[in-house]
Structures are given as structure tokens and as C-alpha cells.
Amino acid sequence: MRTFGPRWFKQDSLMAEFSDNFGHAITRQKQTLALNAAKVEAELASKAKSEFIANMSHELRTPLNAIIGFSDMLMVLKISDVQRVNQYSGYIRQAADHLLALINGILDVSKIQAGKLVVDLQPVELGPILESCVLIIDAKAKERDITVSCALSPETPLLYADPLRLKQILINILGNATKFTNPRGKVHVEAGPGPENAVTISVTDTGDGMSASDIETAMRPFGQVDAGFNKRHEGTGLGLPISVALARLHGGTLTIESEKGRGTRVNIVIPAFDPARALQRPSYAQPTRA
């Protein structure tokens, strides 16, 4: 019979102590990593909040000052020139529309984050929607001598989409492409049948492009590549994240391909209309939390 002396019990005790200490060390390391991750997440959230406050401060004050200023001119100066009255009234309307767009963007983000934004899915013809969006953006593009072109494949099927939300996606993407393209640049839209019974819409521009980290920033709500008080472009950084969320609500995707100095290409994939599948789905799609 094998016997165990005090030395064996001592070794066993040391191994148990070592195993216990090692387990505690691993636990502490995991806790440290979790705390560091939480700290980084909190810092990013704080930075995003600070950027949002800075951006919104500028974006809200500019149209409000315009509304107040031109309203005072119409009221105090007693302007009788009909042409000037119409001009100032137009400025007030533009500023008010800008404010409304800002508020709607904030409300959309809040609904998306709360999981309450829905889309009314129905058979949609892409041509008229694309034409109206290009027409809206082309007016702004001409002011900066930017050429906007469009190519729609005749084989493009009907989409299964919410027409208002689809238009919102396209205007946001086309607006960004125009805004970040230098004068005498080009913005091109092309659409046609995509993979797996879907439609692909691509918006390509000749702007400065973005790096991988810039794309990640632009995808975040309130995140802007060109941010701060000295930024060159207006905007709250909501258009792109909202467009990404709306594409997902449609059961599609929105991806970005870009390089510094080589422009940007945004690919939007929206499911095509399938009567059999449409009968199995409600008229709206519940979103996932952002």
C-alpha cells in the first residue's frame, strides 16, 4: 500500500493555493478589461454628446438668427417693395424648413433608438422617386457647379419599400455626396437589379473621400468627419446613421466604399417586391434597436 507523507500534503496544498490565486488573477483581469471597456464607451458617449451640443448650437442658432433678423426687418423697417418682401419671406421660409429638418432628424434618431420607428412597406416604382430626388439635389448642385447624373436600368423591378422613407434615404445620401464634393465635381447615381431578388442603388462622388476611421465616425449618430466650431460643412451628423437604420428596416443594407482622395461610393440594397413574400409580412417592419 502506498502511503503519503507530510511532504505530499504540503505539495497538494501549494497547488490548491496556486490554482486559487490564479483563478482570482484571471477574474481580476476580466474585471479590469470590462471596466476599461466601459470607460472607453463612456468617453465615446461623452465625446459624441459634446460634439452634438456643439453642432446643434451652431445649426439651431444660424436659422433662428435669420428668422429673427429678417422678421425684424419686415416689421420695423416697414418695407413696401414687394420684391424685397418676397425675398425676405423666402429667407425666413428656408430657415424655418432647415429647423424643421433638424427637429425631424432628432425625432427619427430617438424613435430608432427606442425601437419605435416603423416603415409602411408597399410595391414601389423606383424611377419617379429617383427622378424627384435628383431634381431636388441638382438645384443645389448647380450653385456649386457640380454635375449630377443618373442611370436607371430598364430591368429594375418594383421595390418593396416605404416611398417616403426611401426618398429620405436617397436625399440624405445625395445631399452628402453634393456637400462633400468640390466645385466642378461629379455625383452619379445608378440603379438596377441586385443580388438575391433585390435592387441596388449606388451613389458615387468625386469628393475628398474618407478613411476607414472616418467612415466609422460618420456612421455614428451625431458623428461628423468634419466637426467642431471650425467645420466647413453644415449638418448635425444624423443623415447617414438614419439612412443606415432605414435601409435595415426595409430588410436591406447601406454600405460605404471610400478612400482618401478617391471619392466615395454608397451602395444601398433594398429588397424587390415579391407578392408571395409580401403576403407573409405585415405592412410595417419592427426595427431593431440601434
Reported as a single tens digit per residue, the pLDDT across 253-269 is: 999 998 888 899 999 99
pLDDT attached to residue 213: 80
Per-domain residue ranges for the chain? 1-114, 122-279
CA 117 to chain centre: 15
Work out the number of other CB atoms within 10 angstroms of the CB of residue 236: 20
* CATH of range 122-279; options 2.30.30.30, 3.20.20.70, 3.30.565.10, 1.10.600.10: 3.30.565.10
Look at the block and give the residue holding cell 507530510.
Answer: 6
pLDDT of 289 higher than 70: no
Residue 270 exposure: Cα atoms within 13 Å on the Cβ side: 33
pLDDT attached to residue 116: 79
pLDDT of 125 higher than 90: yes
pLDDT attached to residue 167: 92
* pLDDT, tens digit, 9 for 90 and up, residues 74-96: 777 666 677 888 888 888 887 88
* CATH of range 1-114; options 1.10.287.130, 1.10.40.30, 3.40.50.1370, 3.20.20.140: 1.10.287.130
Q: If you average pLDDT over residues 137-146, what whole number do you get?
A: 88
Q: Can you say whether the dihedral through the CA atoms of 154, 160, 163, 169 is positive or negative?
A: negative
The conformation of residue 281, written as its DSSP 8-state character, comes to S
Integer CA distances (angstroms), 46 to 39, 43, 59, 107, in order:
10, 5, 20, 20
Element (H, E) at 81: none
Spatial separation of the C-alpha atoms in residues 97 and 115, rounded to whole Å: 27
Highest mean pLDDT among 160-169, 234-243, 280-289: 160-169
pLDDT of 26 higher than 70: yes
pTM: 0.67
Residues 6+ apart with CB under 8 A from 198: 252, 269, 270, 271, 272
Kindly report the average pLDDT of the chain as a whole number: 79
Integer CA distances (angstroms), 101 to 12, 112, 238, 256, 285, in order:
72, 16, 11, 24, 24
Work out the number of other CB atoms within 10 angstroms of the CB of residue 74: 15
- Grid coordinates representing 254 are 447601406
Residues 6+ apart with CB under 8 A from 183: 144, 145, 146
Lowest mean pLDDT among 59-63, 197-201, 223-227: 223-227
Residue that wins the pLDDT comparison between 20 and 151: 151
